[in-house]
Amino acid sequence: MDEDTMEQAQANICKQYGQQFLACPIDSILGVAVQTLGNQPLHGLRHKPKADTNGWYIWAGEYSSASDFFSPLHAIHMLEKAPEVMHFLGLPPGCRFLLADGHVDVWFDAALLNT
């Protein structure tokens, strides 16, 4: 899938859930708990972007507050690591998603805008 097609898919998800689209450049950095990928459910939350980061944090299964839980990863690498999240990366700061066994949930969490 090329970048324009991916961006359109992300814009469609935003429209579906009544959210404003905010691009997630493929060369921007997100935090990923790579060691958890493959578990269920798959979680994502977006803080406000800062510098070269896009604000996204992605993990699967149980969350950990360990300082090394998340590793920096370019968004483009999510195509290989967890392609199912790519369509959700255009959701704006304050949004969360949860994917599990054919279930999709997207919601706004204003608390994410204050951290």
DSSP line for the chain: --HHHHHHHHHHHHHHTT-------TTSEEEE-GGGBTBSSEEEEE---BTTEEEEEEEESS----TTS-EEEEGGGHHHH-GGGGGGTTSPTTEEEEEETTEEEEEE-GGGGG-
pLDDT band at 1 (very low <50, low <70, confident <90, very high): low
- The mean pLDDT of 45-53, rounded to a whole number, is 94
* pLDDT value at 2 more than 80: no
Q: Which of 109 and 3 is assigned the larger pLDDT?
A: 109
Please provide the average confidence, as pLDDT, over all residues in the chain: 94
pLDDT of residue 115: 78
- As a whole number, mean pLDDT of residues 103-113 equals 96
pLDDT score at 57: 98
User: Quick one: pLDDT at residue 4?
Assistant: 82
pLDDT single digits (tens) 56-104: 999 999 999 999 999 999 999 999 999 999 999 999 999 999 999 989 9
